[in-house]
């Protein structure tokens, strides 16, 4: 294909709520420009950007994918992103590498909550992101462009102005009015427009919208405003040039009426993208860090061919034949077989052939210019979030910050064969999906799979089975409880064993006392003289430590206590290290009966971000989980609730949060401290431990 310059490139991050028709819109634009010879449909599994087997089966997008069209001498790169709550965070890298955020709104159901979340993502970026809004599915029953448009202005501001208006409603939707040029078009089944007279019905509203558009353009620039006041309007040249600047500067958010299923308004939308969306250089330079240190001073590098090459990796696709790395070239010209430095990993990468990616299909190109999106295969060290740059001028771009896993499951292979393949398969999926986390809990000895929701984890399990032929079972992860004591006691541990020959003898007296929470374990030797020889005293400590690991109540480690070794006795022949280890264990056992052991539970520091109208219900739910509210803050239209909640009560929290907030809430938690578990909770855990056989009896003589 043709190599495009920076000025000829348009990059669209296509975002919005699930089922709004994002993937269908991409399919329609591909068909309208001849990139595909038939219109792909999600229900048939024939769209270009939903090609993963799970996406086809579930009829939803699970990750970002790329496609491109060539239109009016420009290349339009499209990064299609998921819209369901479980996967919406994948919109972040799509918006990061695209100059235009194209929001798709369902013409029937209106603005979805994930659309608002994606809007927030676009605001987080350090370069201003112009928005295009496409109201889709206007040929469906109960579709209402007017109602959706009013909701857009109420939610996102009065800068939202239609550039196309629908002709007809629901099944009679047959064309659009181009408000910029004041022309009307009908469309055939292939999306080809035919100019028609502007309908008399609604002509007043069309004229009013055109005048409002001119006024909005004039208000976006002081010079244009003066001309507007002087002449009462703007010349065509002033209007069109001003319109593009107003859109790029986010003073105007264009709204378009389309139906991707009926191919209505698609060509008009494509024309507007080429004419009014920014090219990669229009938004100015990109902030980065100089050198190879991510903590180094900020620099701004221009998006242009004259700069040294630098690229940001925003997606990794793992296929059977190898790995595909998708990257945005932020500066310079990158040629096939070039060698760049992976700044993140401090290693050189030879790129091999460059490709553009049409869904899962690869097409080779010889070179790519600043602002373009390309794919390379079989890089050895590079992963999502890495920066590749010329060694002569290293630069580092900040990685996209994905949310932490909201839910965790313990994962176990079903068979030995599954066990052998599980780790390799999981690591391939983690490389593809930054929302996925796979770790081994050192305390519970379990492997844990973390993700954004139960739905997210279910798709991973299905991929393991269908793609890698690995079957697993999931269950709630164990809670790493602890045990401690509440009373100070003095006890004796005496071990004596005679077997006919040399016997075993060890005797110690110890004081056990509780420490403050977080105090760990202390062992203090307070023996004066030779009641126990110096070389045997560490054996007493070892015996107590070994017993503490197994706990006293439910098999959990005992912590936050202090032991003073105050006295004892020994035998010149029968005493040895093992004898005094056993004495220490017996002292620990004697302590259990007197020191009032208790169970400690981990308490998490939780921060929940929810719409203000949901704050009361969320606080009530946290209180029902034995949570303690620590404070509240306000951020925009959201309320931030800070609380401390036992870990065991948070295992099922994501489902409840989504239910209360209609998936508009999010939360973050981290370990805070251990606290004593209530008696009824402690009793239940001890009973479960006994039933599961986790409580082991101390060795007898």
Please tell me the distance from the alpha carbon of residue 557 to that of residue 591, in angstroms, as a whole number: 15
pLDDT of 615 above 60:
yes
Please tell me the distance from the alpha carbon of residue 92 to that of residue 384, in angstroms, as a whole number: 13
Please tell me the distance from the alpha carbon of residue 13 to that of residue 358, in angstroms, as a whole number: 15
Q: How many CB atoms sit inside 10 A of residue 648's CB?
A: 20
Predicted confidence band of residue 520 (pLDDT cuts 50, 70, 90)? very high
Residue 68 pLDDT: 98
Cβ 12 vs Cβ 134: under 8 Å = no
Cβ neighbors of 655 (< 8 A, separation 6 or more) are 453, 454
| Residue 141 half-sphere exposure toward CB, CA atoms < 13 A | 0
Interior angle at CA 572, CA 570 and CA 573, nearest 5: 115
Residues 226, 232, 235, 236, CA torsion sign: positive
The model's pLDDT over 476-497, given as tens digits with 9 standing for 90+, comes to: 888 999 999 999 999 999 999 9
Predicted confidence band of residue 182 (pLDDT cuts 50, 70, 90)? very high
Please tell me the distance from the alpha carbon of residue 396 to that of residue 388, in angstroms, as a whole number: 8
The per-residue pLDDT of the chain, averaged, comes to 93
Residues 294, 299, 300, 304, CA torsion sign: negative
SS3 603: strand
The model's pLDDT over 5-31, given as tens digits with 9 standing for 90+, comes to: 999 999 999 999 999 999 999 999 999
Mean pLDDT, residues 332-344 taken together? 95
Place of tokens 């040399």: 502
Predicted confidence band of residue 295 (pLDDT cuts 50, 70, 90)? low
Residue 294 pLDDT: 62
Cβ 643 vs Cβ 604: under 8 Å = no
Q: What is the pTM of this model?
A: 0.82
Pull the structure tokens for residue 249.
């500067």
SS3 311: strand
**In 142-192, at which residue ranges do the beta strands (DSSP E only) sit?**
160-162, 164-167, 175-178, 183-187
Please tell me the distance from the alpha carbon of residue 113 to that of residue 119, in angstroms, as a whole number: 10
Predicted confidence band of residue 696 (pLDDT cuts 50, 70, 90)? low
Helices 22-32 and 266-276, axial angle in degrees (round to 10): 90
Please tell me the distance from the alpha carbon of residue 677 to that of residue 602, in angstroms, as a whole number: 9
Max avg pLDDT among 224-233, 354-363, 444-453: 354-363
pLDDT of 609 above 80:
yes
Residue 698 pLDDT: 46
Pull the structure tokens for residue 542.
């070892």
Q: How many CB atoms sit inside 10 A of residue 363's CB?
A: 12
Mean pLDDT, residues 136-160 taken together? 96
Cβ 133 vs Cβ 12: under 8 Å = no
Residue 322 pLDDT: 84
Give the H/E segment covering residue 567: strand 561-569
pLDDT of 36 above 50:
yes
Q: How many CB atoms sit inside 10 A of residue 88's CB?
A: 26
Residue 334 pLDDT: 97
Cβ neighbors of 322 (< 8 A, separation 6 or more) are 377, 378
Give the H/E segment covering residue 81: none
Q: What percent of the chain has pLDDT over 70?
A: 98
Instruction: Please tell me what DSSP assigns to residue 414.
Output: S
SS3 290: strand
The model's pLDDT over 348-402, given as tens digits with 9 standing for 90+, comes to: 999 999 999 999 999 999 999 999 999 999 999 999 999 999 999 999 999 999 9
Cβ neighbors of 652 (< 8 A, separation 6 or more) are none
Predicted confidence band of residue 251 (pLDDT cuts 50, 70, 90)? very high
pLDDT of 323 above 50:
yes
- Picking from 93, 89, 271, the residue whose alpha carbon sits closest to that of residue 178 is 271
End-to-end CA distance of the chain: 83
pLDDT of 700 above 60:
no
Q: What is the 3-state secondary structure (H, E, C) of 322-383?
A: EEEEEEEEEECCEECCCEEEECCCCEEEECCCEEEEECCEEEEECEECCCCEEEEECCCCCC
Mean pLDDT, residues 270-299 taken together? 88
Residues 536, 542, 547, 548, CA torsion sign: positive
Place of tokens 């006994």: 690
Please tell me the distance from the alpha carbon of residue 285 to that of residue 278, in angstroms, as a whole number: 13
Region of residue 122 (left: phi > 0; alpha: psi -120 to 50; beta: else):
alpha
For residue 578, give Cα distances in angstroms to 196, 400, 456, 542.
99, 55, 52, 10
Instruction: Please tell me what DSSP assigns to residue 302.
Output: -
Cβ 609 vs Cβ 666: under 8 Å = yes
Residue 699 pLDDT: 42
Mean pLDDT, residues 214-220 taken together? 95
pLDDT of 697 above 60:
no
């Amino acid at each position: 294909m043709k190599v495009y310059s920076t000025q000829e490139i348009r990059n669209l991050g296509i975002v919005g709520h699930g089922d709004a028709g994002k993937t269908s819109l991409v399919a329609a634009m591909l068909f309208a420009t001849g990139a595909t010879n038939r219109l792909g449909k999600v229900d048939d599994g024939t769209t270009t950007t939903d090609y993963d087997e799970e996406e086809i089966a579930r009829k939803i997008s699970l990750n970002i994918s790329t496609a491109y069209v060539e239109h009016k001498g420009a290349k339009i790169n499209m990064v299609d992103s998921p819209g369901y709550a479980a996967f919406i965070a994948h919109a972040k890298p799509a918006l990061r590498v695209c100059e235009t955020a194209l929001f798709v709104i369902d013409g029937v159901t209106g603005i979805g909550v994930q659309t608002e979340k994606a809007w927030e993502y676009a605001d987080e970026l350090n370069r201003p992101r112009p928005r295009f809004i496409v109201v889709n599915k206007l040929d469906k029953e109960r579709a209402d462009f007017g109602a959706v448009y009013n909701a857009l202005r109420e939610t996102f501001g009065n800068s939202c102005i239609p550039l196309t208006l629908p002709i007809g409603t629901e099944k009679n939707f047959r064309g659009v009015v181009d408000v910029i040029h004041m022309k009307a078009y009908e469309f055939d089944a292939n999306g080809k427009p035919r100019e028609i007279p502007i309908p008399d019905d609604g002509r007043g509203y069309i004229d009013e919208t055109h005048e409002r558009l001119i006024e909005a353009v004039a208000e976006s620039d002081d010079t244009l405003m003066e001309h507007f006041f002087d002449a009462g309007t703007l010349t065509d040249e002033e209007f069109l040039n001003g319109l593009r600047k107003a859109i790029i500067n986010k003073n105007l958010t264009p709204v378009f009426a389309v139906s991707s299923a009926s191919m209505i308004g698609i060509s008009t939308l494509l024309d507007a993208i080429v004419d009014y969306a920014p090219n990669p250089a229009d938004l100015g330079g990109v902030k980065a860090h100089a050198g190879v240190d991510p903590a180094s001073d900020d620099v701004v590098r221009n998006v242009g061919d004259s700069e040294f090459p630098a690229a940001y990796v925003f997606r990794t696709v793992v296929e059977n034949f190898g790995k595909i790395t998708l990257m945005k070239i932020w500066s310079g010209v990158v040629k096939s077989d070039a060698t760049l430095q992976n700044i993140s990993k401090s290693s050189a990468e030879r790129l091999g052939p460059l490709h553009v990616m049409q869904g899962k299909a690869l097409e080779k190109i010889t070179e790519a210019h600043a602002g373009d999106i390309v794919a390379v295969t079989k890089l050895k060290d590079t992963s999502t979030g890495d920066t590749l740059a010329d060694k002569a001028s290293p630069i580092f771009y900040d990685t996209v910050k994905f949310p932490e896993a909201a839910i965790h499951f313990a994962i176990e292979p079903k068979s030995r064969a599954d066990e052998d393949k599980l780790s390799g398969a999981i690591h391939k999926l983690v490389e593809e999906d930054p929302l996925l986390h796979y770790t081994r809990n050192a305390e519970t000895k379990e492997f844990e799979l973390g993700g954004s929701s139960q739905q997210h984890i279910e798709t991973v399990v299905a991929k393991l089975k269908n793609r890698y032929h690995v079957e697993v079972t999931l269950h709630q992860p164990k809670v790493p409880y602890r045990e401690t004591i509440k009373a100070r006691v003095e006890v004796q541990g005496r071990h004596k064993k005679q077997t006919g020959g040399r016997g075993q003898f060890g005797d110690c007296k110890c004081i056990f006392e509780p420490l403050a929470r977080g105090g760990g374990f202390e062992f203090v030797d307070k023996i004066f003289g030779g009641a126990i020889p110096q070389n045997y005293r560490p054996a007493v400590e070892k015996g107590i430590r070994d017993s503490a690991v197994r706990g006293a109540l439910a098999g959990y480690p005992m912590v936050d206590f202090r032991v003073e070794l105050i006295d004892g006795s020994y035998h010149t022949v029968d005493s040895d290290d093992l004898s005094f280890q056993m004495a220490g264990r017996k002292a620990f056992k004697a302590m259990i009966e007197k020191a009032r052991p208790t169970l400690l539970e981990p308490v998490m520091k939780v921060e929940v971000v929810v719409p203000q109208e949901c704050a009361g219900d969320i606080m009530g739910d946290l209180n029902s989980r034995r949570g303690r509210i620590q404070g509240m803050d306000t951020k925009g239209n959201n309320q931030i609730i800070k609380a401390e909640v036992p870990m065991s009560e948070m295992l099922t929290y994501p489902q409840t949060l989504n239910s209360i907030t209609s998936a508009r809430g999010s939360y973050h938690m981290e370990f805070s401290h251990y606290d004593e578990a209530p008696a009824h909770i402690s009793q239940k855990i001890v009973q479960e431990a006994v039933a599961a056989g986790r409580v082991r009896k101390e060795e007898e003589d």
